[in-house]
Amino acid sequence: MIKCLLLAALGGSLIGYATMTTRDCPLKKRHSRKDDEEESARELKARLKALELQTRVDSLERVIEDLKAAQQGNTQQKQI
């Protein structure tokens, strides 16, 4: 249970970080097309990193679920 909560918190904070880094700031002045392209590239990299981390969190959650199911299966076999 605690592991699931930690993973959920980690996933939420990672998504929040990626959203924060890709958000456009209205006070930011744009100087050139090159700056726009560089900013776009940074946003894409941040989104990709967030997606990779979310994929890892999802796979860890599946592993935890599988381990819980296996543990419950072992408990039921011992009772028989």
Per-residue pLDDT reduced to its tens digit, 37-71: 888 999 999 999 999 999 999 999 999 999 999 98
Q: Are 54 and 14 in contact (CB under 8 A)?
A: yes
For residue 1, give Cα distances in angstroms to 6, 9, 21, 67, 79: 9, 12, 30, 12, 23
The alpha helices in 1-32, defined as continuous H runs, are 2-22
Report if residue 12 sits inside a domain.
Answer: yes
Report if residue 28 sits inside a domain.
Answer: no
Q: Is the pLDDT of residue 79 over 90?
A: no
* pTM of this structure: 0.49
Angle between helices 33-79 and 2-22 (to 10 degrees): 170
Report if residue 53 sits inside a domain.
Answer: yes
End-to-end CA distance of the chain, in Å?
26
Range of the domain at 60: 2-22+42-79
